A and B are shown apart, each in its own frame.
Chain A
Amino acid sequence: MTGWLKRAYVLAILLLLLAPLLVVTGVSINGPQTMRFPPVEPSLRWYGALFEDSAWLVPLGHSLLIAACASALSVAIALPLALFAWERNGIAARLLTGVGLAPFTLPPVISALGFMVFWMTVGGYGQIWATIVSHAVFLVTLPLVTISLGLKGIDRAFLEAARVMGAGRWTVMRTVIGPLLLPFIVSGYAFAFVLSLNEYIIAYMVAGFTVETIPIKIFNALRYGYTPILGVVSVLFVALAALVFGLIGRFGDLPRLMGAERSRRE
């Protein structure tokens, strides 16, 4: 196959993936409260409306708070776990890594139900912090994978060199491992943040009736009929995800982060 055909194929698929998002963007700038494409009387008034409507602002606040805290906690669990497993091959390290990878590999409804019965049993059902902890544990896989990847790239000789030059364990961590790992910690946080923002079922089953998040709000709104704000919120979430991953791609090596071993010359 010629290079031209390959490029056309890749481009066509990417366009297909973007098509629904383009339609939603079009729909979101309809003037009247109708779902039309191409949009009629284009205006941004629904974007303004979103930020005046507490019915949407409250869930937005919930979503951002949960995402920010849950991904921080997620990193706080994943970082020591990755460090522990990095230098150890024993059964404990392997078991711990396996459990760390499991939440994200299983269908999320399983974890959701697990969290639901857990919080019902121990108390906390319907509380925002229960959602935060649940998200943190569910998403721990993401920072675990990125941080482990970063650790794999650290030459053991760096640590030995630092030790010979007089750095104790904590100093090695602060002056060598930390700076080298920071981009991977940040990407792990960003991945978890975006995923938490978009997560539905766990948030719904742990505290869906008391702590509404944006995905829950969209789903509820869909049942009561259409409003262009749905389009607006969707567009904002797509833009946010694209921004975060775009930044990771700009400042980090996204192909390598996704597991390509040979990163090509620029």
Chain B
Amino acid sequence: MTNLRIESLSKTFGTFTALDEVSLEIPTGKFVCLLGPSGCGKTTLLRVIAGLETPSGGHIFVNGEEQTKVPTHKRGMGMVFQSLALFPHLDVAGNISYPLAIRGADRAERERRAEELLELVRLPGMGARRIDQLSGGQRQRVAIARGLAIDPKVFLLDEPLSALDAGLREHMQIELRQIQQSLGVTTIVVTHDQKEALTMADLVIVMKDGVIQQAGAPMEIYRNPANPFVAGFIGTTNLLQCEIRDGAIEVLGARLPVAEGDRIGVAQGRAQLSVRPEHVAIGPPGGEIEAEIIFLRDLGESRHLLLQVGGQEINAQLSPEMHGAYRPGERVSLSFRPGERVVVA
């Protein structure tokens, strides 16, 4: 069943177009990540859904009901803000039960629900704490609990984890995903962190310049990017100028026949080849493509080479069995693993 449907939604600020005829459908219970660089319109899209911005054109339907004219406070959404926006004049329980108090819930009901939510976010018994007594991670959890207090029709989160340090952030990603799955609430998270999107989402929507570039399951987008922007934004990749001619990819002076599994989005002519660093293989000199090692990074669990081929830089991530003793300045040959090559226009 479709929970949220958006039809050719536009939003302009003066001459700046933040959203350009955006349309999408989100089924009930899905975890969606809106992903893109800053200024791509993802936050605007979230705010239009919440009713915090009025769209310049288009429609929003939640459970089949038109929302465009409904004021923010009647939409029944839950939201976690980038700054969290926890009220400093209320304690933890007061913050969490705020939306219930607005709806006239009595004291006992509010206390019961607040404690229930605190258990959900693993902060049992913390209801009487002041906000400034909480750590960053605890505040995060309180904000999430507050957003879920009324069983929102859609749960919206605007860069919710951006203030946390790397370790805690990864932990919270997993926890947020678990909470969402246990409740089955439709959730939309805005993020600029592609790892975060790949960790949590059922559905990733990549945006740029107010336009949806690609929407799909995380691995689908990773393996089969629709254009060079998506290829570059999701994970790391090498983008190389190439030409498709007679069933082969001509790149860096070599001619590579198309193999089973290669995703060739262009029939003939100039295009771009996207190859992930982990699909670049290194061998002894004398192969079809010769390269020079410029820089070597050893990160313990993996090893990265920066290579140069005729002015082009290429990143390679070595698989464990290829852990030879390489040195900067050394000449090697490289190849792109057949079946893992993506050609986009």
Chains A and B share a contact (CB less than 8 Å): yes
Chain A residues close to B by CB (< 8 Å): 155, 157-158, 160-168, 171, 175-176, 179-180
Q: Which of B52-72 contact A (CB under 8 A)?
A: 52, 71-72
Q: Which of B148-203 contact A (CB under 8 A)?
A: 149-150, 156
B74 touches A161 (CB 8 A): no
Given A157-B81, A157-B85, A180-B88, A164-B102 contact (CB < 8 Å): no
- Pick from A158, A166, A167, A180: contact of B85, CB below 8 A: A158
Q: How many Å lie between the Cα of A157 and that of B146 in the bound state?
A: 14
State which size class the interface on B falls in.
20 to 34
Compute how far the CA of A171 lies from the CA of B76 in the bound complex, rounded to whole angstroms.
Answer: 16
- From known contacts A155-B83, A166-B74, infer whether A160 and B146 are also in contact, taking CB-CB under 8 Å: no
Known A175-B98, A180-B88, A180-B89; judge A165-B146 contact (CB<8 A): yes
> Is B73 part of the contact surface with A, judged by Cβ < 8 Å?
yes
Q: Which residue of A lies closest to B103 (CB)?
A: A166
**Is the CB of B210 closer than 8 A to any CB of chain A?**
no
List 24 contacting pairs A-B, 8 Å CB cutoff, sorted by A: A157-B81, A157-B84, A160-B79, A160-B81, A160-B85, A161-B79, A161-B81, A161-B85, A162-B73, A162-B87, A163-B73, A164-B51, A164-B72, A164-B73, A165-B73, A165-B102, A165-B146, A166-B74, A167-B73, A167-B102, A168-B71, A168-B73, A175-B98, A175-B101
Cβ-based interface call for B36 (8 A)? no
Most buried by B among A171, A175, A179: A175
B103 & A163 in contact (Cβ 8 Å cutoff):
no
Chain A residue contacts of B88, Cβ below 8 A:
180
The residue among B75, B89, B101 with the most chain A CB atoms within 10 A of its own CB is B89
Binding site for A on B (CB under 8 A): 50-52, 71-79, 81-85, 87-89, 98-99, 101-103, 146, 149-150, 156
CA distance A151 to B281 in the complex (A): 60
How long is the Cα–Cα vector from A155 to B78 in the complex, in angstroms? Answer: 18
Q: How far is the CA of A179 from the CA of B76 in the complex (A)?
A: 24
Please name 12 further chain A to chain B contacts, defined as beta carbons within 8 Å, in addition to the given A157-B85, A160-B81, sorted by A numbering.
A157-B84, A160-B85, A163-B52, A164-B78, A165-B146, A166-B76, A166-B99, A166-B102, A166-B150, A168-B71, A175-B101, A176-B87
User: Which residues in A have their C-beta under 8 angstroms from that of B150?
Assistant: 165-166
CB proximity of A246 to chain B, nearest CB, Å: 24
